[in-house]
Amino acid sequence: MLNYKTTLTFYLISILLYLFMISISSAQFYNIENGVFLKSALPLDEPRHLCVDIPGHKDRVKVNGHMMVHSCKEGMWNLDERFEKSSINSNKLRMPYYDRCLAAEKAEEGSKIILRRCLDGKLTNWQMIEAKLRLLDHPHLCLTIGSEPSRLTRGGKRLPTRAKARSLSMRTCSDLSVERQLWTLADPLTITKPLLPPKGN
């Protein structure tokens, strides 16, 4: 009887431990120090620069939504802006926390940017040439920040971070749009408090 109770207890503990482990966010298994920002090379109208971002925040992130650029989330939770730096060597732009890759919705002018499984077709394949991100099989198309002024996000209107955002799409690579087509893979700053905008911004 004692052996039966011991065995049952062991199995119950094992099941509970298993359920606990799978419920833990994958962020706890992912070293966020290995992730980088996909960051605008030039500040445009945001001194903190703009980073490729998933709409929403934390548990409200819209993984199936259209990607955008957002004030780089320095000194705060930012896994929705982190990319695996080495993935570009395999012509991918992978977000390890979500195990998804950046993709064009279509191979055409004005196409929106989304996340897809990394093996889902050629529209997840990129190459970085002269700081421009081009679709590997459609090199005339570049990842491009919208020409509209950056707008305050919903959170930016009520929080001191005053975060801004712009649209993101595929556009013809052009010297006329070059300032919005230059990118860098940049390590986040090693700070522990959110970076606030300069006074007057």
pLDDT tens digits, 92-136 = 999 999 999 999 999 999 999 999 999 988 999 999 999 999 999
Architecture of domain 35-186: Trefoil (2.80)
Whole-model pTM over 0.75: yes
**Residue that the structure tokens 């940049």 belong to:** 186
The residue assigned the tokens 């120090």 is: 33
Residue-level pLDDT at 3: 58
Give 41's DSSP letter.
Answer: S
Task: Tell me the mean pLDDT per 10 residues along the chain, length 201.
Answer: 54 49 42 80 98 94 97 96 96 96 98 96 96 98 98 95 97 98 97 90 70
Phi, psi of 180 (to 5 degrees): -105, 5
Token duo for residue 196: 């606030």
Q: At 138, which helix (H) or strand (E)? A: strand 138-145
CA atoms within 13 A of residue 135's CA, in its CB half-sphere: 22
